[in-house]
Homo-oligomer: A and B are copies of this chain.
Amino acid sequence: MGRWEPNARGRLEEAALALFTERGFEQVTVAEIAGRAGLTERTFYRHFADKREVLFPDANPLVTGFDKALEEAPDTAEPMATVSVVLDAVAAFFEGRHDYSRRRHAVVAANAELRERESIKLSTLAESLAEGLRKRGVAEPAASLAAESGVAVFKVAHAQWLAESEPRDLGVLMREALAALRDVTGAG
């Protein structure tokens, strides 16, 4: 057995989500989170750059799956086809996580600082997606527009999925949103 309890990072994430759920983000101090995880405040900041980041881990299965799907997507001249493949991978990630996603979303939605962090994380994903498209030969501004559109589709479908108590398949919702986007932009 190691000197320290294993998975300090995971314990901090769990402690944080539990405390934020109970009392809200602002009403919880970093020292409390660390204490609940059997650690000190200073150690918290060795694992996370700031208090909010504990809810948005850099290395998480969503981002990993996203990057992998983006890399492995077949080459095609149609940027939205690549976007669609990546969105499928994202949908797969959320499979079986509806309850957890809702609890987490409640915490984030209740706090402006956390909504801000979520917003920039989505922007970062859009930028990754645009970069991936450029590497596949898609020119600007098509690459950025396709990437931003993809994130918009995700946002809309994800919000719909979260709102449903008996959720339909996120992949289906995304494909519907993608079709709706085509209608909206194409008809204008």
Contact = CB atoms under 8 A, between A and B. Distances in A.
Interface string A70-90: 000000001111011000000
B119 A184 contact: no
Nearest to A173: B141
A185 B185 contact: yes
Interface string A139-180: 011101110110111011101100000000000000001101
A117 interface: yes
Q: Is the interface of A mostly helix, strand, loop or mixed?
A: helix
A145 B180 contact: yes
A25 B80 CA distance: 38
Contacts of A117: 116
Given A117-B116, A120-B119, A180-B145, A186 B185 contact: yes
A188 interface: yes
A39 interface: no
A183 interface: yes
6 contacts: A78-B187, A80-B188, A81-B188, A116-B117, A148-B149, A152-B152
Q: Which 8 A-B pairs have the closest CB atoms?
A: A80-B188, A148-B152, A116-B120, A186-B186, A141-B156, A119-B119, A119-B120, A185-B185
